[in-house]
């Protein structure tokens, strides 16, 4: 699985209220969540985000609430991957569970700037900054996690596995 | 050979796994209790019915569903979502259902004894760490993790390392468990215990209310679970399994010592919970709204502490004081013992037990330029309403004193 996208760069402790404020949680509509993603922090995000873009952030990305709406809002906005120095634990599970690839890589997160283009090989855990030529190594996902992401998340992956087992 | 000493988290996850495990191990375990509230349950139902095609939850008796986040409903969309939750609860035969007004999910879980020492409990809410107040391993998960757990009864966990907090001394007048939590947030930061458990030692004397406050607040350190060892008068009437207890020699990732005798009232300054200073250093901060409530600080002890400070006085002009008891039981008790009338006489207004405006969805959200001093747990931008409002976090004592003064001040000793 290889991705290439333009970078949105954010700092440390981007919380779930920043990603999607609770006042918009009265909908499960992915399009509506995407329409308000990041709006309290970066009003240019919704207007300019393109499918395939990548979010790069500092430490503890996604801290706060257990709302799965946060990774859903990013994914529905077109974000293909989040690279951060570290992730908050609930966000980490939620992102993978909804099929949004995320990579922990402090070196890449620190050196990447807004507007750079990253090329990411998820299977290898390799991140290449197209603008600087630098390559970074994150821990590669195990096979099942790649299959889970590819399936679109935990629930879809489980459904497929159950179908295989019973098929 | 002597068995290796374990942290509380290791003990609980070892018991559930059926073999000794240690920090770093991955385990698949039965989840003893599942709590899901109105804010995430619609997505849980979507996952169960839509994708997993699961007609029945694995074991309804393990499941509790609460309507607390937007209760009563503030919009037709929310009301419709709650209609669907209630219908699903009936279809599934889920016995533990608590509707509008019962209270904040975590308070109800503990009050109704839906979670017990040594159990593993998942909640679709990050503050499920509160269950550590009774010596349970409580942790927050998203809707898909909850759906899979409801479908199978199980889920996977990584056994967390543990941060040991040794607490010495006693709170001084005007200082309370929230000040300990805020102090730790300032000291350790928002990711100070990311992926880890936090164990509090030296608090045998602390009541259940205080234990709930500090365990729920470990979430703001990024913790997976927060626990007070289940010993002392507060948990004397709970069944603590014989295998659960502090084991000297357990391995901790980090040890921190806090001396309560010198702890001052703390306040968290927007827009980050770990931006903490002593109240005396916050400067001149006039407040528009003072909010006493939530799973963090809406319990009877919190309401009484506020009432003591407000007794016979009246809040400052132009200040609103909103009190939301964390549960129906608390509201009833506060009515019976006169706490509520003291608060009302001082100028408070009272809301339906539940989450109130904590997550900015109803019942007292703030507007642009407004300042709220809240006893809740988060002050991120936009958390309680307008992104241009500012939320400060403090104890019920500081909240009451600030409502009287019209600006953020510590509670003076009486």
For range B363-379, the mean pLDDT:
97
- Compute the distance between CA of residue B79 and CA of residue B73 in angstroms, rounded to an integer: 5
- Compute the distance between CA of residue B108 and CA of residue A139 in angstroms, rounded to an integer: 41
CB contact under 8 A, B191 and A59: yes
pLDDT of residue B301 exceeding 90? yes
pLDDT the model gives residue A167: 58
Name the percent of chain B lying above pLDDT 90: 96
In degrees rounded to 5, what are phi and psi of residue A5?
A: -160, 165
Q: Could you tell me where in chain B the CATH 3.30.499.10 domains are found? A: 8-258, 267-413
pLDDT confidence bin for B51, thresholds 50/70/90? confident
pLDDT of residue B140 exceeding 80? yes
For range B104-108, the mean pLDDT:
98
pLDDT confidence bin for A162, thresholds 50/70/90? confident
CB contact under 8 A, A97 and B144: yes
CB contact under 8 A, A60 and B52: no
Residue of B nearest to A18 (CA): B381
CATH code: domain of residue A128: 3.20.19.10
Of A5-14, A145-154, B128-137, which gets the smallest average pLDDT?
A145-154
**A92-126 tens-digit pLDDT:** 999 999 999 999 999 999 999 999 999 999 999 99
CB contact under 8 A, A13 and B123: no
Give A164→chain B minimum CA distance, Å: 13
pLDDT confidence bin for B413, thresholds 50/70/90? very low
DSSP letters spanning A93-137:
HHHHHTT--EEE-HHHHHH--TT-EEEEETTTTEEEETTT--EEE
Q: C-alpha angle with apex B265: B295 to B169, nearest 5 degrees? A: 90
Interface test with A, best of B42, B144, B217, B357 (most A CBs within 10 A): B144
Partner-chain residue, chosen from A39, A86, A98, that has the shortest CB–CB distance to B194: A86
Q: What is the mean pLDDT of chain B?
A: 96
pLDDT confidence bin for B55, thresholds 50/70/90? confident
Give A130→chain B minimum CA distance, Å: 31
For range B352-357, the mean pLDDT:
97
Q: Give the count of beta carbons closer than 10 Å to the beta carbon of residue B170.
A: 11
Number of A–B residue contacts, CB under 8 Å: 124
In degrees rounded to 5, what are phi and psi of residue B348?
A: -75, 155
**A30-79 tens-digit pLDDT:** 999 999 999 999 999 999 999 999 999 999 999 999 999 999 999 999 99
Is this complex scored with an ipTM above 0.95? no
* CATH number, domain B267-413: 3.30.499.10
CB A86 within 8 A of CB B194: yes
Structural class in CATH, domain B8-258: alpha beta
Partner-chain residue, chosen from A25, A40, A153, that has the shortest CB–CB distance to B361: A25
pLDDT the model gives residue B1: 43
pLDDT of residue B54 exceeding 90? no
CB B198 within 8 A of CB B217: no
pLDDT of residue B242 exceeding 50? yes
Find the domain containing A155 and state its range. Answer: 2-166
DSSP letters spanning B90-138:
HHHT-SEEE-TTSB-HHHHHHHTT-S-TT-EEEESSGGGGGGGGGT-EE
**B15-26 tens-digit pLDDT:** 999 999 999 998
Six-digit token pair at B244? 């659960």
Q: Using alpha carbons, select from B330, B328, B286 the residue that is nearest to residue B307.
A: B330
Q: Give the count of beta carbons closer than 10 Å to the beta carbon of residue B264.
A: 15
- Compute the distance between CA of residue B78 and CA of residue B362 in angstroms, rounded to an integer: 11
Q: Is B279 left (phi over 0), alpha (psi -120 to 50) or beta?
A: alpha
The residue length of chain A stands at 167
Number of domains in chain A: 1
The torsion angle over the Cα atoms of residues B174, B296, B154 and A70, rounded to 10 degrees, is -130
pLDDT the model gives residue A161: 82
pLDDT of residue B232 exceeding 50? yes
């Amino acid at each position: 699985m290889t991705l290439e996208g333009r970078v949105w760069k954010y700092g440390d402790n981007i919380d779930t209220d920043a990603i999607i404020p609770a006042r918009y949680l009265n909908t499960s509509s992915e399009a509506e969540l995407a329409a308000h993603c990041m709006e309290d922090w970066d009003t240019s995000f919704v207007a300019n985000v393109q499918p395939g873009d990548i979010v790069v952030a500092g430490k503890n990305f996604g801290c706060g609430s257990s709302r799965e709406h946060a990774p859903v809002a990013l994914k529905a906005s077109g974000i293909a991957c989040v690279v951060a120095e570290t992730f908050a634990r609930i966000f980490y599970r939620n992102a993978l569970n909804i099929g949004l690839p995320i990579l922990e890589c402090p070196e890449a997160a620190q050196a990447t700037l807004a507007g750079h283009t990253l090329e990411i090989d998820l299977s290898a855990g390799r991140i290449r900054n197209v603008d600087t030529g630098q390559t970074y190594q994150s821990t590669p996902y195990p096979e099942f996690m790649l299959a889970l992401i590819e399936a679109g998340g935990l629930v879809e992956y489980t459904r497929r596995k159950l179908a295989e087992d019973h098929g | 050979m002597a068995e290796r000493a374990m942290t509380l988290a290791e003990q609980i996850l070892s018991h559930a796994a059926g073999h000794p495990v240690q920090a770093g191990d991955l385990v698949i375990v039965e989840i003893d209790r599942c709590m899901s509230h109105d804010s995430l349950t619609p997505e849980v139902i979507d996952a169960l019915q839509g994708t997993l095609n699961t007609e029945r939850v694995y074991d309804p008796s393990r499941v509790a569903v609460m309507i607390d986040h937007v209760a009563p409903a503030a919009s037709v969309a929310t009301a419709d979502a709650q209609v669907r939750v209630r219908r699903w609860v009936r279809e599934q035969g889920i016995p533990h259902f608590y509707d509008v007004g019962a209270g904040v999910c975590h308070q109800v879980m503990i009050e109704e004894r839906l979670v017990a020492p040594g159990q593993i409990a998942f909640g679709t809410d990050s503050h499920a760490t509160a269950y550590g107040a009774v010596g349970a391993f409580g942790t927050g998960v998203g809707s898909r993790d909850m759906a899979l757990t409801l479908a199978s009864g199980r889920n996977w966990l990584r056994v967390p390392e543990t941060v040991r907090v040794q607490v010495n001394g006693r709170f001084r007048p005007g200082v309370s468990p929230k000040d300990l939590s805020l102090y730790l947030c300032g000291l350790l930061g928002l990711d100070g215990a990311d992926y880890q458990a936090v164990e509090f030692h030296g608090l045998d004397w602390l009541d259940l209310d205080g234990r709930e406050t500090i365990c729920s607040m470990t979430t703001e350190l990024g913790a997976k679970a927060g626990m007070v060892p289940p010993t002392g008068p507060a948990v004397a009437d709970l069944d603590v399994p014989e295998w659960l207890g502090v084991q000297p020699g357990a391995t901790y990732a980090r040890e921190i010592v806090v001396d309560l005798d010198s702890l001052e009232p703390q306040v968290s300054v927007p827009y980050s919970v770990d931006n903490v200073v002593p109240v005396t250093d916050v400067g001149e901060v006039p407040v528009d709204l003072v909010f006493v409530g939530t799973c963090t600080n809406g319990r009877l002890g919190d309401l009484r502490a506020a009432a003591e400070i407000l007794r016979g006085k009246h809040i400052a002009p132009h200040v609103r004081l909103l009190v939301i008891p964390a549960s129906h039981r608390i509201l009833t008790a506060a009515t019976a013992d006169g706490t509520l009338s003291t608060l009302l006489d001082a100028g408070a207004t009272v809301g339906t037990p539940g989450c109130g405006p904590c997550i900015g969805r109803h019942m007292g959200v703030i507007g642009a330029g407004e300042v709220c001093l809240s006893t809740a747990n988060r002050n991120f931008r936009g958390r309680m309403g307008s992104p241009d409002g500012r939320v400060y976090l403090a104890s019920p004592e500081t909240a009451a004193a600030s409502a009287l003064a019209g600006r953020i001040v510590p509670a003076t000793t009486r």
